[in-house]
Amino acid sequence: SQELEQSPQSLIVQEGKNLTINCTSSKTLYGLYWYKQKYGEGLIFLMMLQKGGEEKSHEKITAKLDEKKQQSSLHITASQPSHAGIYLCGADKQGRGSNYKLTFGKGTLLTVNP
């Protein structure tokens, strides 16, 4: 079962607008990952967050993890058509024994109109 809730499911913005995608968990997040995917392709790693209150930026994309480590947000400033795609958050979850499985939310489909 997926325990990461992403919102919104889809988003259409005009080029140049800012936007935010959220990822929420009912349990504490110990490793939170953001990926981007073009349709029919593999996932491209964007950022990883581990500490409460942590914030990371890369070009026009900023990701934050709240102090309680149960919610993360991905913010894109001045969106461009190249930002279009599916954004997925992933998190480490303890599996059987000492094994950790990497699970993902359902993703957010971003469309940027020129």
Partner 1 sequence: DGGITQSPKYLFRKEGQNVTLSCEQNLNHDAMYWYRQDPGQGLRLIYYSQIVNDFQKGDIAEGYSVSREKKESFPLTVTSAQKNPTAFYLCASRGLWYTEAFFGQGTRLTVV
Interaction between residue 25 and partner 1 (CB under 8 A)? no
- Beta-carbon contacts of 4 under 8 Å, excluding residues fewer than 6 positions away, are 23, 24, 25, 89, 90, 91, 103, 104, 105
Question: Whole-angstrom Cα distance, residue 32 to residue 112?
Answer: 25
Interaction between residue 45 and partner 1 (CB under 8 A)? yes
**Residue from 13, 24, 31, 70 that binds partner 1 (CB under 8 A)?**
31
Residue whose C-alpha is closest to residue 104's, from 83, 84, 88, 82: 88
Angle at 85 between CA 84 and CA 86, to 5 degrees: 140
Residues 69-108 that bind partner 1 (CB under 8 A): 88, 90, 92, 95-96, 98-107
**CA 73 → CA 27, 40, 100, distances in Å?**
16, 25, 23
Binding range to partner 1, per CB under 8 A, among 15-23, 42-50, 56-64, 74-82: 42-50
CB of 87 to partner 1, least distance (A): 11
Interaction between residue 41 and partner 1 (CB under 8 A)? yes
Q: What residues line the site for partner 1 (CB under 8 A)?
A: 1-2, 6, 9, 30-31, 33, 35, 40-45, 48, 50, 88, 90, 92, 95-96, 98-107
